[in-house]
Amino acid sequence: MKKLKTHIYKVDEQTADEVWQAAGDILRKGGLVAFPTETVYGLGANALDEKASAKIYAAKGRPSDNPLIVHIADAHMMDTLARDIPDAAWKLADRFWPGPLTMILKKKAIVPDGTTGGLDTVAIRMPSHPAALKLIQVSGVCIAAPSANTSGRPSPTRAEHVMEDMDGKIDMILDGGEVGIGIESTIVDLTGDVPMILRPGYITKEMLSQAIGAVDTDPAILDENKDENFRPKAPGMKYKHYAPKGDLTLVEGPERKVVEKIRKLTADRLADGCRVGIIATQETQKDYDQGLVISIGSRHDEGEIIHNLYHILREMDRLQVDVIYSESFSEGARGQAIMNRLLKAAGHQVIYV
């Protein structure tokens, strides 16, 4: 791949018009622009230009059967991209857009197969981050954007993370600072009889049910379901994902037992000559006296844990640890969303105590 010069610009309310125009130009001409959203940084291209979306796959090293989410700045754009839109979709758009919810709908012919991985459906989201909305508006294109990381690495929540993975591979990075939420959108499929969550996220099943009634969760993404024959309905959910370079293991159980186990494992690995990282909480941080300890936040603040998750996985890479032990976070309303990412990052290595 030809090396590109990647231009970086800070974006906020003061950003000059020329910067927005330049970013819009790149997208209209089929180039790639990374930009902040409220969930994670996205790697954007014109969703209706097959050649442009192909560049996303090349820059990320993303498998071509893993479809892209199309970002819009106005709910009515759904009509341009999708057909047979059920009432539930309009209700969800009304309730949660702009915001961290992606809907799967039947696609219209205008959406190229290259954007949907050959599927007859399209994933659509209206983000709430002002820079994302502005970019869609000034460019005048629907923006296909997966997370702006190299496939398999933790998703980027800061422009520096995007630089690490994408420098020289894309035309521009818009730096909007740290994102607000920190994990990817909830994905709900509205093409079946009962709406189905294909990826858990900040918007919970309970929140969706309050708006539209019964909602299912794809059985293949629930951790209990390790049957190989269950294939997740979102193609991307089957891939190894979010993985730090060190070997990550989760330890699950009552807090005191978890701390004791991680202390013991850490002592053993250190004796083997390994560099050991520990993902602790504000409450337990002081209980670890060996290893490189990072607090992910308070166990009582799910939002904080979600916000710090990917940055900490990248920090562990920076610290060049060989092994990482992490506490588990399955209890709260968003426990499923957190554990879905951590379990993938750990390649499902869990020790129950």
Interface with ligand AMP (CB under 6 A), residue from 122, 132, 135, 280: 122
The only residue of 146, 180, 244, 277 in contact with ligand AMP, by rule CB under 6 A: 146
The yes or no reply on residue 187 touching ligand AMP (CB under 6 A) is: yes
Shortest distance, position 310 Cβ to ligand AMP, whole Å: 12
Residue 18: how many CB atoms within 10 A of its CB? Answer: 9
Residue 293 Cβ, how far from ligand AMP at the closest point, in Å?
30
- Which of residues 132, 234, 279, 337 is near ligand AMP by CB under 6 A? 234
Residue 299: how many CA atoms within 13 Å on its side-chain side? 14
Site string for ligand AMP, 40-79 (x = CB under 6 A): --------------------------xx-x----------
Pick from 150, 157, 177, 205: which is nearest to 41 by CA? 157
Binding of ligand AMP at residue 198 (CB under 6 A)? yes
Closest residue to ligand AMP in the complex (CB): 236
- The radius of gyration of the chain from alpha carbons, rounded to an integer in Å, stands at 20
Rounded to whole angstroms, how far apart are CA atoms 341 and 170?
26
**Is there binding between residue 32 and ligand AMP (CB under 6 A)?**
no
Amino acid at position 186, single letter: T
Query: Considering the rule CB under 6 A, would residue 284 count as an interface residue with ligand AMP?
Result: no
User: Which residues from 253-282 bind ligand AMP, rule CB under 6 A?
Assistant: none
Other CB atoms within a 10 A radius of the CB of residue 350 amount to 15
Residue ranges with strand state E in the chain: 7-10, 33-35, 42-46, 69-71, 82-83, 101-107, 121-125, 143-144, 172-175, 186-189, 196-199, 216-217, 247-252, 276-280, 292-295, 323-327, 350-352
CA 150 to chain centroid, in Å, comes to 12
Residue 147 interacting with Mg ion (CB under 5 A): yes
187 binds, among ligand AMP, Mg ion, none (CB under 5 to 8 A by kind): ligand AMP
Q: Does residue 208 sit in helix, strand or coil?
A: helix
The tokens of 76 are what?
């009515």
Smallest gap from Cβ 16 to ligand AMP, in A, equals: 29
266 binds Mg ion (CB under 5 A): no
Binding mask 9-28 for ligand AMP (x = CB under 6 A): --------------------
> Among 96, 107, 95, 31, which residue's Cα sits nearest to residue 69?
107
Q: How many residues of this chain interact with Mg ion, rule: CB under 5 A?
A: 2
Half-sphere exposure of 337 (CA within 13 A, CB side): 27
Of 139-147, 197-205, 303-311, 317-325, the window that binds Mg ion (rule: CB under 5 A) is: 139-147
Residues that bind ligand AMP (CB under 6 A): 66-67, 69, 104, 116, 119, 121-123, 146-147, 184, 187, 198-199, 233-237
